[in-house]
Structure 1
Amino acid sequence: MSSILTRAMLFIMIIVIGYGLKKIGVFKKEDFGVVSKIVLNLTLPCAIIVNFSNLVFEKSLISMIGIGFACTVILAIAGYFLAAGSGNGEKSFNMINLAGYNIGCFTIPFAQAFLGPAGIVAICLFDSGNSIMSAGGTYAATSLVNKEHNADKIKTGAILKKLISSPPLMCYLVMLMLALSDQKLPAPILDLAGIIGGANAFLAMFMIGIGFKLDLNRTQMVKSAQIIITRYVITVIFAVVLYHALPFDIEIRKAVVLAVFSPIAAVSTAYTEKSGGDTGLSSTINSLCILISLFFVSAILVLM
């Protein structure tokens, strides 16, 4: 237990260091984009490659893709009904900022430190289902709801292009196909991926620190509380049901619980801007969810 707490505190310290260096001017908020590009295009895909390559693949784990997709859809629907009686803009905002999971940059680094290959791959498969919605699917749905802001953007091709251009999602799909066909990547590629992927945990946590932002006023506090409480009440239900209902080993079920307690997808603020929503409020909700998920994930690792 002490080693788990120590490792979790080290991750939190990396976030604090990133935030502190931004506050004293060593890094700027614009640097978040640079670090996120490195994580999403290099270190995270390489971490996925390494984790998949170390696994004796169980085909039954493919169900995790559907579970990740379903959880994200349910959260989006909950966001829509949370704004019942409000305008389409409010419904759109809730759907984007209540649904989706930041698994690649938040949960996978924790999983790398505390779970075996099977648990990590279960989280990766969950994230591949989540990514279908988080990388464009939820925004497409909100575009249909909030037509006044998005009438010119509802294009299937554009959404598909967004999904295809997501390196983590494509990496998931390629490694899944290789695993299903019992194929392995050449050793030099795996060695290179190991070196690059080894930096994923540090860079992902450091990136969260640089991007962390809280800007609360009374209105934002009320709205943030509504969305966050709704999300985590549903999350607790997901965790209890999936942990007790899934026919997998404890490591897999623990991995799924970690996945559903991930914070809101990092891209939610960008999609909020595209849909004409309040990006400041979106950033605040995202940052608060990081703090809450840090608490829950650390507690889960200690108690389970």
Structure 2
Amino acid sequence: MEGFQQQFIISVFIILLGYFFKRTKILKESDGQTIARIVFNITLPALVLVTFNQMEITLPLVSLIVIAILFGLVAAAAGFFVFRSADTDLKGMAIMMMPGVNVGLFAFPLVEAIWGREGIQYFGMFDVGNAVIVFGLCFFIASYFANGSSKFYLRETVSPLLRSIPFLTYMFVVALNIFDFHLPTFLLDTAEIISGANMPLSLLLLGLYLNFSFEKSWFPLIGKYLAVKYGTGLVLGLSLFWLFSDYPMLANTVLIGFILPTSTTAVVYAIRYRYNAKIAGTIVNITIILSFLLIWVLASFVAYH
């Protein structure tokens, strides 16, 4: 337990260090785009390669793909019910931001610190289902309310998945395990060294993106959004945590996965479809802080039980 608390303290320190670098202009927030490309296209895929190598494909692991997709559908339905009477723009933005969560950037460094490589395997499978939600369902919701059209363009939905290096890496390593093919030792050793940079870079990036300025008029919308997001996540997460008590890592993944921050892709969709990108960015920032605190509380609870 002492080691677990120490890891969280170190994580907080690195995030604050990133924020300090931004405030003192050692780094700029725009530098985060470069760091994000390095994380998503180099260090995260390297971590996936090393972690998933010779992974045993089990039913609990595969079930996480389905669980993540079902959770996204339920979260979207909850958002639609709560925001059904809001203005079209606000309704579209709020519902679009409800289903997807930030696994690769936010969860992986914390999960690696708490549960090691086994945790990365479980959250990696959860992220496969989450990617379908983020690039499929969230994209459809954003475009539907922006254009007032129910047309669904499969090409525009599949294209981001096929360009996502982390997603393609997941598919690649799962295929390798199914066919019992092993990567060369030299390649794995190289990936091992590169993957060591994933945790500090991801946490620094979170610090660079922290922003605490927002308008008071946004409070009602943000408050309602946070209540629905975390209310739904906690109720479902705690219920499944007890249901899957015989499979501890599966239970932990569901419990933590359902309260992860809003996906940063939501800001990209907000810009593309002319929603209020500032509100979207503020919500993402607030959920980063709230999720970090909730994960610390829930992970402490799991550690004691």
TM-score category (smaller protein): over 0.9
Q: 1:138 is matched by which residue type in structure 2?
A: C
User: Against the structure 1 CA distance between its residues 154 and 118, is the aligned structure 2 distance closer, same or farther, given a 3 Å change threshold?
Assistant: same
Aligned length: 302
Q: Does 1:221 align with 2:234?
A: no
Letter in 2 for 1:146: A
Partner Cα distance (1:10, 1:156) in 2:
43
The answer to whether the 8 Å contact 1:118/1:252 transfers is no
Structure 1 residues 255 and 60, CA, compared in 2 at 3 Å: closer, same or farther? closer
TM-score (norm 1): 0.93
2:13 corresponds in structure 1 to: 13
1:225 & 1:29 partners in 2: Cα distance? 26
Distance in 1 between residues matched to 2:98 and 2:217, nearest whole Å: 17
Superposition deviation, residue 84 in structure 1: 1.1
Question: Tell me, what secondary structure is at the counterpart of 1:285?
Answer: helix
TM-score (norm 2): 0.93
Q: Is the 8 A contact 2:54 2:177 kept in 1?
A: no
Distance 1:199 1:126, change over 3 A: same
Paired with 2:114 and 2:39, the residues of 1 have a C-alpha distance of 20
Residue in structure 2 matched with residue 123 of structure 1 by the alignment: 123
- 1:54 Cα deviation from its structure 2 partner: 5.4
Q: Give the gaps of 5 or more residues in structure 2.
A: none
Consecutive unaligned residues in structure 1, runs of 5 or more = none
Matches within 5 A, 1:80-91: 80-91=80-91
Q: How does 1:1-304 map to 2 (within 5 A)?
A: 1-53=1-53, 55-147=55-147, 155-246=153-244, 248-304=246-302
Instruction: State the Cα deviation string for residues 151-199 of structure 1 (Å, max 9, x = none).
Output: 9x95321221111101111111111122222222111111111111111
Matched position secondary structure for 1:146: helix
Letter in 2 for 1:4: F
Deviation for aligned residue 1:49: 1.2
CA distance change for structure 1 residues 158 and 27 in 2, over 3 Å: closer, same or farther? same
Higher deviation after alignment, 206-215 or 250-259: 250-259
* Alignment-mate amino acid for residue 270 of structure 2: T
Is the Cα contact below 8 Å between 1:32 and 1:210 reproduced in 2? yes
Q: Whole-Å Cα distance in 2 between the matches of residues 113 and 54 of structure 1? A: 21
The secondary structure found in structure 1 opposite 2:224 is: helix
* Aligned 8 A contact 2:135 2:158 in 1: no
Residue identity opposite 1:222 in structure 2: P
Classify 1:34/1:288 alpha carbon distance in 2 versus 1 (closer, same or farther; 3 Å): same
**Cα distance in 1 for residues equivalent to 2:48 and 2:13:** 24
Offset of residue 248 of structure 1: 4.8
Percent identity among equivalent residues? 23
Matched to 1:221, the amino acid is F
Q: Counterparts of 2:40 and 2:143 in 1: how far apart (Å)?
A: 25
Taking the aligned partners of 1:193 and 1:136, their CA distance within structure 2 comes to 30
